[in-house]
Amino acid sequence: MPAETILVIGSANVDMIVKSESLPRPGETVIGGTFATVPGGKGANQAVAVARLGKRATLLACVGDDEFGNSLRATYEREGIDTRLVQTIAQTHTGVAFILVDACGENMISVALGANAKFTPDRLKALEDLAVSPRWVLLQLEIPRPTVEAAVQWAKERGARVILDPAPAPAAGGLPDSLLRLVDIMTPNGVEAGALVGHEVTSADQAVAAGRTLVERGAGEVIVTLGERGGVGVSPSGDWRYAAPKVQAVDSTAAGDCFAGALAVALSEGASTREAADFAARAAAVSVTRIGAQSSLPRRDEIPRQ
């Protein structure tokens, strides 16, 4: 397998999306809207983002032995993703995400993990069987935490650089410092950054403070994404901010996955972290103008220039 591949280790889902004028409150039923079924899952989304931006992507993920699993594998192959590490789990359903989207593009998501929950550390053995040699490894938190930790350790032992998108937001207690010390770049959004440091992150100043805390705990660099307000980057040498293009948001699903995938692509091409974040922000801005997860991810020629 070529060294220039970007390896994505993570989840694979089918997304079922309902778009309505507003999101329901607890106990409320909202009538109206449109429905769509599209491929999703944070790991698979990132792999598709990488592939559509012109880089070779290898996906290590688990699907169920059902129609959804077969459909997802075929989808990844059409995208040009190396699927030899996509594993089918017997007597298990493929992960499913139920996504509600309002007229402003805000969303609520509930996930039935299915095969993703059975993505145990022993399944990383497939990496050895295929002699994968990546320079960049992308990870998220939609698979079991022990698997994430084992995958990060595997990557660092082989000299790869790790980008961790800590999504979904970790539960109280965040992530251990032993894991943070092995991560080169973290890409939390404001909610996720808040969960990691134990306080609210809604402003750029709060994002910088959260980033500094995570760097002090061991993370190499931290980019906190703040949606339409851009985001901030923090490293041991200082902090900086980037802007987001002004667009009419339709659906923010997979915007973070698009950002992480685009960031890895730009970094693999020699961009600085700041340059890569700018490119990733422009890619993510395109994604929020479209409905769905993988259906929203842009190709290279669709990303506006600075």
Residue 228, classified by CB atoms within 10 Å of its CB into exposed (0-12), middle (13-18) or buried (19+), is middle
Sign of the C-alpha dihedral, residues 293, 294, 299, 300?
positive
Other Cβ atoms closer than 10 A to 216: 12
177 among known catalytic residues = no
Q: Which amino acid is at 38?
A: V
Sign of the C-alpha dihedral, residues 212, 177, 5, 144?
negative
3-state secondary structure of 49: helix
Closest C-alpha to 293, from 41, 20, 22: 41
Alpha helix stretches (DSSP H) within 181-244: 190-197, 204-216
Active-site choice (102, 257, 278, 301) = 257
Q: Which amino acid is at 196?
A: L
Catalytic residues: 257
